[in-house]
Structure 1
């Protein structure tokens, strides 16, 4: 299968590197990482250590692929979708944080859209090198009724052929709400406390993280999804322990002084809760704190 990984950060590079063991893969990312992969290949270390040589480019326009795996930040989804629309992709699968990415992709692309979630643990190291910190799994499902389940099954087969633990679901929205609960609990808490994921499974942070997840479950239920507070809390603990050594993407953004995905994660929860008359004080507080840090760091305009 020809696979385009659009967004070769830590997760995108790991997914691309794993897929490149059995498929023709092109990474779309930024220099100096892309240049390092072009010159010396991609090195993966950690759970397994290996080297592979996917193609790599900083320009994702005009690309042809059987599958595009999108791993860019949520605020870059529209730009990625516009670039993908200049080429020809057979299907597109989002493995991104936050809500709303699939709708943006569907608005721009005439191709089946898959929603995906993964618990793979990845961390960028030097250019051309990514650390694999947790084996994890990948779950994908069709986003719209027109996006038939057969496409999801083919993508699962492609992931499985590369040695990844992968499965398909027919409840993509339920999948994304559970992923949102996990991200809303782990990302801002680890970013604000400057700790690895495992810390949110233990006091003093576990109560805060699980409260954030329970609020997401409340909003999800009001929105018609099947997600209980207990299941949300359990999912957070499971993922936090499975990726204990991983540094969340939001933690990485804060450490590097970059814009975060808070709007598509806790910010989305707050906005949706307002429409559904739900109270989400923990998510509201976490969103305000991270946005306040962004303003102070100069990566966000004051609001």
Structure 2
């Protein structure tokens, strides 16, 4: 399969490298220099769970590309730009493998091909130009977003991932939405709290950190149900607890962003919960508070407009 990985950050570089190990796959990474130049000159080095070097094609220009699949792995605030650039090319399908929710709708607005949703628990950190650390294996789940009946395309993408020895599951339209809301609950609980408290994920596994898990999960579940997705409070709370236990020694992506003075993805995590809750008349005070606190930090550093949090 011809695959474009749009966004050569941590997860994009890891998945690009894993997919590029398959002789039948042709992989192109879209990223920024100096990472792209390093990969072009010396290949993409993976360390950690496994160590190897691959040499995918690389480019800093995401326009006028064509492939069977575009795997979108950019930060959520770059999704609009990514969609506009991808729209200048031709793809059989596009799959979002990003944090938060709302990315799929953005892609579908711009692209005239099936849009899939994806989620993963694989862990990676880009160590420097041309190198990514594979910190942990997990699973990948994909399913149709728009149109909802694009099951055949989702199966093909699942097979492409499986060929790279990735642990993959393919869901139908209802199933992938439940998966995304469960992951959203975990991100909504783990990311802003660990970022604000400057602690590793495991701090939420015991009091006082664990006291926040249930109310956040309950708010996310209530918002999901109001949005037409059948998920209960216990299911979302369990999803948070599983992520905390599995990633106890890790720093969340939002914690890393704040440590580095970068804009976060709070808008598509807690912000998405707040916006959907407002539409359906659901009260989500904890998510609203977390979104406001992170937004205030970003605005004070010029990372967002003061009135857009």
| TM-score, with length taken from structure 1 | 0.96
CA contact (8 A) 1:133 1:245 kept: no
What does the per-residue CA deviation read over 1:124-168, in whole Å, with 9 as the maximum and x for residues that have no partner?
Answer: 212111111120110000003455201111111110110100010
Structure 1 segments unaligned to the other structure (5+ residues): none
Question: What is the deviation of 1:83?
Answer: 0.6
**For residue 123 of structure 2, what is the aligned residue in structure 1?**
121
**How many residues are paired up?**
303
Please say which of residues 244-253 and 45-54 is displaced more in the overlay: 244-253
Is 1:273 matched with 2:277?
yes
C-alpha separation in 1, matches of 2:252 and 2:91: 30
Matches within 5 A, 1:248-287: 248-287=252-291
Please say which of residues 53-62 and 200-209 is displaced more in the overlay: 200-209
Structure 2 segments unaligned to the other structure (5+ residues): none
Q: CA RMSD in A?
A: 1.4
What does the per-residue CA deviation read over 1:154-191, in whole Å, with 9 as the maximum and x for residues that have no partner?
Answer: 11111011010001001222222112111111111122
Question: What is the deviation of 1:269?
Answer: 0.8
Is 1:209 matched with 2:222?
no
C-alpha separation in 1, matches of 2:284 and 2:42: 48
Q: 1:246 to 1:66 in 2, by over 3 A?
A: farther
**For residue 144 of structure 2, what is the aligned residue in structure 1?**
142
CA contact (8 A) 1:134 1:243 kept: no
Please say which of residues 291-300 and 152-161 is displaced more in the overlay: 291-300
What does the per-residue CA deviation read over 1:112-132, in whole Å, with 9 as the maximum and x for residues that have no partner?
Answer: 110111111111212111111
Q: Residue 146 of structure 2 aligns to a residue in which SS? A: coil
Question: What is the deviation of 1:285?
Answer: 1.0
C-alpha separation in 1, matches of 2:106 and 2:84: 10
CA contact (8 A) 1:181 1:236 kept: yes
C-alpha separation in 2, matches of 1:244 and 1:55: 35
C-alpha separation in 2, matches of 1:96 and 1:272: 19
C-alpha separation in 1, matches of 2:240 and 2:52: 30
Question: What is the deviation of 1:210?
Answer: 3.6
Q: Residue 92 of structure 1 aligns to a residue in which SS? A: strand
Is 1:218 matched with 2:226?
no
**For residue 155 of structure 2, what is the aligned residue in structure 1?**
153
Question: What is the deviation of 1:243?
Answer: 2.7
C-alpha separation in 2, matches of 1:203 and 1:302: 33
What does the per-residue CA deviation read over 1:176-218, in whole Å, with 9 as the maximum and x for residues that have no partner?
Answer: 2112111111111122122333332333322213421221011
Q: Return structure 1 stretches of 4+ with deviation > 3 angstroms.
A: none
| TM-score, with length taken from structure 2 | 0.94
Is 1:191 matched with 2:156?
no
What does the per-residue CA deviation read over 1:47-100, in whole Å, with 9 as the maximum and x for residues that have no partner?
Answer: 222211111111111111110000111111111011111111111000111221
Question: What is the deviation of 1:270?
Answer: 1.1
CA contact (8 A) 2:114 2:147 kept: no
Question: What is the deviation of 1:245?
Answer: 3.6
